[in-house]
């Protein structure tokens, strides 16, 4: 790598990494505050709180990563503009070095985004579910206070009558209102939490399972023993997303093994890969608006960092509402950036001063 390319790449990467690190720390602290009921209500320690907040980081980090890369590039290019180094790069045939630096930054950032979305996020989702199940199991087995209603997760309220020897629970009650169509209530004379490999099973004995539909229909099932997966009582939603816990390599391996590529798997793989397109589109856009020197002096100077954030917001909105997929906004941004770069690179005729 040539010296100019290495110099520009280092400038782009330094600002992007510093900004991304600050954003990650702030997001982690916010997640800790949002999950503080793990300590205050569910009786866990601060280590569990920190780990749970860490597992929720990958989706949020993905939302801000490409914005941090774009802002890092635009800050570096603005500094080069203010120091007139950008003018020297263009007048001394250094444009190729600028292109190579942008290509290197975009390539590394795209690979990192793909690693986050294809591997890190599914792994974090899987570990978060395991941790949530462990917290719920500990809540039922040792943390719940007798004769006190406690919210295990939004929509699920539990209460026990007391505890006997050997972890036996007397008079177990759980009310599940997460599903708007059906309300389920578990009532049992006794219960016990058992570990089964990585899962936790709540064994209910001598009780009833009551269903109340949205239209008011009521049904009741009596049982001598009923086993409930603790994870089913610890998740915010009733229906989980099994694909969210599988990395892309596992999804591809299962599809190749069975020979069946379902629409859900293909859509999930395409949606994940769209994160790389976002990085490419925003980096090209930043190069188009800040990679060329300008001698114009505006009375009110609009911060380019704000422009990058607005463009990223619009791109995210297009991808969210487009029927063609989440990558639609990134494709539109790449096309817009290509047009802007073509306009900036189009050769212009030199202007000759008029004779007086």
The residue that leads in pLDDT, 240 or 279, is: 279
The 3-state DSSP class for residue 168 equals coil
pLDDT tens digits, residue range 117-172? 999 999 998 888 888 777 777 766 666 778 888 777 778 888 888 887 766 888 88
Q: Which of 62-66, 88-92, 208-212, 296-300 has the lowest mean pLDDT?
A: 296-300
- Rounded to an integer, the average pLDDT of 201-226 is 88
| pLDDT score for 37 | 65
Greatest mean pLDDT among 147-161, 280-294, 298-312 lies in 280-294
DSSP for 198-267, please give it: TEEEEEEEEEEEEEEETTS-EEEEEEEEEEEEHHHHHSSSSS--GGGGS-HHHHHHHHHHHT---HHHHH
d(CA 268, CA 281): 20
| pLDDT score for 71 | 93
- Rounded to an integer, the average pLDDT of 265-291 is 90
pLDDT tens digits, residue range 231-263? 777 666 555 677 888 888 988 998 888 888 888
DSSP for 66-92, please give it: HHHHHHHHHHHHHHHHHTTHHHHHHHT
pLDDT tens digits, residue range 25-51? 999 998 888 777 666 656 677 788 888
Say yes or no: domain 166-235 is CATH 3.40.50. Answer: no
Neighbours of 350 (CB within 10 A): 5
Q: What is the DSSP letter of 155?
A: T
d(CA 49, CA 221): 37
Range(s) within the chain of domains with CATH label 2.20.25: 166-235
Residues in a beta bridge with 218: 212
Give Cα separations from 145 to 67, 139, 151, 176 (angstroms).
46, 9, 12, 19
Q: What is the pTM of this model?
A: 0.77
């Amino acid at each position: 790598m040539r010296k100019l390319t290495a110099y520009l790449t280092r400038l782009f990467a330094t600002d992007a990494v510093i900004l991304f690190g600050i954003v990650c720390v702030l997001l982690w602290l916010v997640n800790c505050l949002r999950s503080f009921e793990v300590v205050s209500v569910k009786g866990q320690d601060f280590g569990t709180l920190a780990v749970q907040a860490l597992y929720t980081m990958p989706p949020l980090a993905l939302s801000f990563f490409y914005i941090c890369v774009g802002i890092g590039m635009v800050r570096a290019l603005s500094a080069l503009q203010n120091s007139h180094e950008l003018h020297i790069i263009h007048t001394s045939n250094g444009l190729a070095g600028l292109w190579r630096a942008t290509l290197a930054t975009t390539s590394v950032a795209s690979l990192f985004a793909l690693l986050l979305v294809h591997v890190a996020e599914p792994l974090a989702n899987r570990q978060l579910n395991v941790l949530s199940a462990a917290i719920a199991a500990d809540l039922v087995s040792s943390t719940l206070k007798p004769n006190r209603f406690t919210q295990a997760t939004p929509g699920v309220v539990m209460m026990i009558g007391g505890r006997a020897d050997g972890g036996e629970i007397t008079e177990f009650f759980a009310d599940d209102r997460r599903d708007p169509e059906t309300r389920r209530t578990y009532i049992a004379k006794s219960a016990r939490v058992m570990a089964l490999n990585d899962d936790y099973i709540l064994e209910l004995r001598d009780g009833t399972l009551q269903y109340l539909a949205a239209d008011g229909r009521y049904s009741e099932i009596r049982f001598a023993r009923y086993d409930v997966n603790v994870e089913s009582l610890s998740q915010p939603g009733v229906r989980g997303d099994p694909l969210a816990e599988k990395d892309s390599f596992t999804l591809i391996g299962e599809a190749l093994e069975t020979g069946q590529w379902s629409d859900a798997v293909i859509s999930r793989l395409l949606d994940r890969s769209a994160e790389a397109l976002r990085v490419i589109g925003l980096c090209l856009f930043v190069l188009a608006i800040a990679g060329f020197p300008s001698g114009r002096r505006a009375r009110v100077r609009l911060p380019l960092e704000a422009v990058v954030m607005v463009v990223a917001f619009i791109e995210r909105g297009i991808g969210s509402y487009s029927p063609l997929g989440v990558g639609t906004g990134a494709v539109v941004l790449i096309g817009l950036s290509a047009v802007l770069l073509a306009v900036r690179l189009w050769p212009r005729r030199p202007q000759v001063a008029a004779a007086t």
